Amino acid sequence: MNLPDWDNPAWSESLIRKIKQTAPRELRFMEVCGTHTVNMFRYGIREAIQPEVKFISGPGCPVCVTPTSEIDKAIWLSQQKDIIITTYGDMIRVPGSNGTSLRKAIAKGATVKIVYAATDSIDIAIKNPDKEVVFLAVGFETTSPATAILVKDVIQKGIKNLSILVMHKVIPPAMEALLKDEDIAIDGFLCPGHVSVIIGEKPYHFIPERYHKPAVIGGFKASEILYAIYRMVLQIAQGQPAVENAYRHVVRSEGNKNAQTLLREVFYIGDTEWRGLGRIPESGMLLKEEFSFLDVEKRFQIPELHSKDPPGCRCGDVLKGIIEPYQCPLFGKVCTPLEPVGPCMVSSEGSCAAYYKYGGKTI
Amino acid sequence: MCLGIPLKVVEISPPYAIGELSGVRQRIRIDMLPKVKLGEYVMVHSGFAIEKISEKEVNEMLSLFEEMSKY
Amino acid sequence: MITLDHGSGGKLSRELIEKILMPELSNPILSQLGDSAILDIASTKIAFTTDSHTVSPLFFPGGDIGKLSVTGTINDLAMVGATPLYLSLSLIMEEGFSEELLKEIVKSISSTAKENDVRIVTGDTKVVEKEKVDKIFINTAGIGIIPQSTDIGPHKIRHKDRIILSGSLGEHSITLMVLRNEMELPKGLKSDCASLYPLVRTLTSKIKDIHAMRDITRGGLGTVLNEFVADASFGIEIEESKIPIQPDVKAYCDILGFDPLYLANEGKLVLFAAPDVADEIVSIMRKHPLGKDAAVIGEVTESHPGIVAMKTSIGGKRIVDSLVGEQLPRIC
């Protein structure tokens, strides 16, 4: 087989037309995946389907939802002699308390290596036996299996100088927290494509069953995104909200069983803190007791860092879609892509950064 | 949170494989897809193959989009 | 505090210039911030420019730090229509740097200079303690003569001007990114490092009315176009489908989450010209090895002054902003 070009303009144009024709009223949908946010801006989809359909960016970008306290821990660790931080590039510019960030820590001499895959951290640990490597394990269900494999590799290879700052989260509980919040008027969810590859359709069933709203799993190319949006609009027009897999060529309805087993072996689900959304029960992935020797917080005495969110930062309300980025008092003045205050401005296409670059001006 | 790319599996030596796209060859992990075969396409996220791409579903999606863009 | 982002060629680099350098150093010539300064000396128009090069690895498919340090400065001179004549060469090396490597680099500098008939007429070398500099840094400055009749610069840009890109984007930065991360380099992918002077000379000898040109280095096409519209009375509209990108570069952008509009190049230029000469320019360029993929990618517009907008491949529309800081491999 050779893969089609899912960016085929003819398909996208016909899907945009169908979305506009089928929408019974102006709809407010939320996407909960940073890659959906990025691609919808880059393709110009957000603008092409207005005013019939308006999208709000939800808490789907791992950088945006990581609490300041975790960022401060990562920065503190990076400043310790003999520690090498390995991390995905997304975390480099996230602001910690009082304007610190890994980027600024690097400029002052911290050793931070950007990895493409979590397991690259092992080669770095082997090459630097006298250093302690700390991997920043951030991300949702798509990325946590890679951390689970890293844990097993470390044990199997007997690596002694590697530990992990675990910050993994699961997305469905955050979606439910948003639905419970009355002042968030969302007509439906565009569900994250690759998280769904791992977890399948079942974890979203509460959305149509308890809240009577569509939950459609979408891919990331233009026609894949537009097809998922079209199915959401169709469900509302026919009054039949359901969980629907519009990314069938990649997502199996039961998810990836091997990945799910891996996750159950290494992590347990517990409460965790979401930036802007507060503490959400059963929404964090934590290392099981038998692997706690790999938990950096057990290996290092991390002092109390008195973390605090920057005053006036309303990333939380932006993440919930309660306010638009420009309604945040810091937006565009104190908080800009050059000097980001909140994570939604830091993440390359977090809703504030994307709005500052793509949305603020009319074209 | 899930920047993915479809690659064609051209070499397998568990737990690794080589995935290829437009001349780019990339070493990937296949721990999550132990039964993957040569010539199959897989969706890769930050170095890990997370699922096999179904040819049947691709063709169904293809004809659906071709049909839709006719009228 | 200065960070790597200040070196990206994007907004932070611009802010460094405008907030720290310009308040102290600004004068009518410097504040143009063009590729080259244009000087009037004894009724001769002289182009003068400088560039520093730190590249890792030092040798890469398509070029090396020596060739790059010559072509980089020649290109800046060519962008204002100058004939490059003389270069200065300054080397800063780390103690322990290998002489064989240095010989190879100097050989490459001299052969590249000869090929473009420019001469290195002055220079300097310094050695610093180990690890104070990453192996070797090279600075070159260049002087060229601009024919009296030639007047190329942003001030010439007019409404409805066509925007022409000389070729595909991103090969240089993706080649180096792949080598630095010890990934496997796809067959045929190499840096586009080249002197653009032969291409420019062919064009200026045949086309009188080229309005403006700029080589697309750090910050990429998106940043360069934003520099043209920054506090200008016009905007720019480009079309994504017209912008050539090699399949292997596109694949890497998808893998790493990069936007090709912001990738650095070392042998590509963007050119503004009147609508009636645009097609002729493209056909001339396409006959030249450095312009075989040349294409009109957009035009100057009066709507949305100061903004670069792009019609996307699926017919949507988006704003193209300047790069803020270095693009990093990301998962989201």
CATH number assigned to the domain comprising residue C233? 3.90.650.10
pLDDT for position C172 = 97
What percent of chain C is predicted at pLDDT more than 90? Answer: 70
B23 contacts in chain C (CB < 8 Å): 186-189, 247-248, 251
CATH number at residue A293: 3.40.50.11740
Would you call C257 and B3 a contact, using CB atoms and an 8 Å cutoff?
A: yes
C1 in any annotated domain: no
Q: Is B51 at the interface with chain A, CB within 8 A?
A: yes
Would you call A90 and C2 a contact, using CB atoms and an 8 Å cutoff?
A: no
pLDDT for position A131 = 98
What percent of chain A is predicted at pLDDT more than 90? Answer: 74
- C205 and C99 share one domain: no
Within 13 Å of residue C116, how many CA atoms lie on the same side as its CB? Answer: 34
Kindly list the partner chains of chain C, i.e. chains with 3 or more CB atom pairs below 8 Å.
A, B
How would residue C263 be classed by pLDDT, with cut points 50, 70 and 90? Answer: very high
Nearest to B58 among A11, A249, A251 (CB): A249
- C286 and C160 share one domain: yes
Q: Which residues 144-183 of chain A have a CB within 8 Å of chain B? A: 145-146, 149
Residue of C318, C262, C241 whose CA lies nearest to C9: C262
pLDDT for position C2 = 79
A226 contacts in chain C (CB < 8 Å): 314
- C187 and C96 share one domain: no
Mean pLDDT is lowest, of A294-303, A342-351, C240-249, for A342-351
How far is residue C40's CA from residue C29's CA, in Å, rounded to a whole number? Answer: 10
Residue of C210, C234, C203, C232 whose CA lies nearest to C153: C210
Helix (H) or strand (E) holding C12: helix C11-16
Residue of C229, C207, C198 whose CA lies nearest to C150: C207
Chain C residue set in contact with B, beta carbons under 8 Å: 183-184, 186-189, 247-248, 250-252, 254-255, 257, 330-332
Within 13 Å of residue A220, how many CA atoms lie on the same side as its CB? Answer: 28
pLDDT for position A358 = 67
Does residue A285 sit in helix, strand or coil?
A: strand
- C206 and C271 share one domain: yes
Nearest to C251 among B1, B24, B45 (CB): B24
* Nearest residue of chain C to residue B24 (CA atoms): C186
Mean pLDDT of chain B: 94
A149 contacts in chain B (CB < 8 Å): 29, 31, 48
Would you call B45 and A258 a contact, using CB atoms and an 8 Å cutoff?
A: no
A33 contacts in chain C (CB < 8 Å): 332
Q: Which of A15, A43, A147, A345 to mutate to test the interface with C (most CBs of C within 10 A)?
A: A43
- C97 and C134 share one domain: yes
CATH number at residue C101: 3.30.1330.10
- C57 preceded by a cis bond (ω within 30 of 0): yes
Q: At what angle do helices C275-286 and C197-206 cross, to 10 degrees?
A: 130
pTM of the predicted model as reported, rounded to 2 decimal places: 0.91
A3 in any annotated domain: no
How far is residue C75's CA from residue C61's CA, in Å, rounded to a whole number? Answer: 20
Q: Which residue has the higher pLDDT, C59 or C231?
A: C59
Q: Which of C258, C314, C317 to mutate to test the interface with A (most CBs of A within 10 A)?
A: C314
**pLDDT tens sequence across C95-120:** 889 988 998 999 999 999 999 999 99
Mean pLDDT is lowest, of A102-111, A349-358, C159-168, C230-239, for A349-358
Q: Which residue has the higher pLDDT, A127 or A183?
A: A127
Q: Is A204 at the interface with chain B, CB within 8 A?
A: no
pLDDT for position A362 = 54
Q: C183 is in which domain, residue-wise?
A: 154-319
pLDDT for position C61 = 97
Mean pLDDT for the stretch of residues A218-236: 97
Q: How far is B52 from chain A (nearest CA, A)?
A: 7
A213 in any annotated domain: yes
pLDDT for position A345 = 84
Would you call B5 and C255 a contact, using CB atoms and an 8 Å cutoff?
A: yes
C329 in any annotated domain: no
ipTM for the predicted complex: 0.90
Would you call B48 and A149 a contact, using CB atoms and an 8 Å cutoff?
A: yes
Q: Which of A142, A169, A231, A247 to mutate to test the interface with B (most CBs of B within 10 A)?
A: A142
Structure tokens at B48: 């890990």
pLDDT for position A182 = 77
CATH number at residue B50: 2.30.30.140
Count CB-CB contacts under 10 A for residue C99: 7
Query: Which residues, 6+ apart, have CB-to-CB distance to C118 below 8 Å?
Result: C70, C74, C84, C85, C86, C87, C142
Mean pLDDT for the stretch of residues A191-212: 97
Mean pLDDT for the stretch of residues A58-63: 84
Q: Do the beta carbons of residue A333 and residue A341 sit within 8 Å?
A: no
* Nearest residue of chain C to residue A349 (CA atoms): C332
Would you call C304 and A361 a contact, using CB atoms and an 8 Å cutoff?
A: yes
- C270 and C308 share one domain: yes
How would residue C183 be classed by pLDDT, with cut points 50, 70 and 90? Answer: confident
pLDDT for position C305 = 93
Q: Is A69 at the interface with chain C, CB within 8 A?
A: no
A50 in any annotated domain: yes
Q: B19 is in which domain, residue-wise?
A: 5-68
C257 contacts in chain A (CB < 8 Å): 38, 348
Q: Is A25 at the interface with chain C, CB within 8 A?
A: no
A11 in any annotated domain: no
pLDDT for position A172 = 97
- C97 and C64 share one domain: yes
Would you call A220 and B4 a contact, using CB atoms and an 8 Å cutoff?
A: yes
Would you call B24 and C257 a contact, using CB atoms and an 8 Å cutoff?
A: no
**pLDDT tens sequence across C290-327:** 999 999 999 999 989 999 999 998 888 888 988 887 78
What b-and-e string marks burial along A190-219, b requiring 16 or more CB atoms within 10 Å of the CB?
bbbbbbbbbbbbebbebbbeebebbbbbbb
- C85 and C119 share one domain: yes
Residue of C298, C48, C81, C71 whose CA lies nearest to C207: C81
Q: How many domains does chain A have?
A: 1
Q: Is A10 at the interface with chain C, CB within 8 A?
A: no
Residue that is last in its domain, among C121, C146, C171: C146
Mean pLDDT of chain C: 93
Q: Do the beta carbons of residue C314 and residue A12 sit within 8 Å?
A: yes
Count CB-CB contacts under 10 A for residue B50: 31
**Is the Cα dihedral C97, C101, C104, C109 positive or negative?**
negative
How would residue C284 be classed by pLDDT, with cut points 50, 70 and 90? Answer: very high
**pLDDT tens sequence across A340-363:** 888 788 776 677 887 787 665 555
Regions of chain B with pLDDT less than 70:
1
C11 in any annotated domain: no
Q: How many domains does chain C have?
A: 2
pLDDT for position A107 = 93
Residue that is last in its domain, among C116, C146, C176: C146
A325 in any annotated domain: yes
Q: Is A361 at the interface with chain C, CB within 8 A?
A: yes
C2 in any annotated domain: no
Q: How many domains does chain B have?
A: 1
Does A313 have pLDDT greater than 60? Answer: yes
pLDDT for position B25 = 93
C17 in any annotated domain: no
Structure tokens at C180: 């630095």
pLDDT for position A359 = 61
Mean pLDDT of chain A: 93
C229 contacts in chain A (CB < 8 Å): none
Tell me the count of A-C CB pairs closer than 8 A: 112
* Nearest residue of chain A to residue B35 (CA atoms): A258
β strands within chain A, DSSP E: 27-31, 53-57, 83-87, 111-114, 132-139, 162-168, 188-191, 215-217, 243-245, 267-274, 278-287
Residue that is last in its domain, among C128, C146, C164: C146
Does A16 have pLDDT greater than 60? Answer: yes
Q: Is C103 at the interface with chain A, CB within 8 A?
A: no
Mean pLDDT for the stretch of residues A219-223: 96
pLDDT for position A61 = 84
Q: Is B22 at the interface with chain C, CB within 8 A?
A: yes
B65 contacts in chain A (CB < 8 Å): 8, 11, 14-15, 223, 227
- C220 and C196 share one domain: yes
Does C143 have pLDDT greater than 80? Answer: yes
Residue of A166, A205, A197, A185 whose CA lies nearest to A286: A166
pLDDT for position C12 = 84
Would you call B1 and A33 a contact, using CB atoms and an 8 Å cutoff?
A: yes
Would you call B54 and A251 a contact, using CB atoms and an 8 Å cutoff?
A: no
Would you call A119 and B57 a contact, using CB atoms and an 8 Å cutoff?
A: no
A273 in any annotated domain: yes
Mean pLDDT is lowest, of A145-159, A195-209, A243-257, C317-331, for C317-331
A85 in any annotated domain: yes
A23 in any annotated domain: no
pLDDT for position C87 = 93
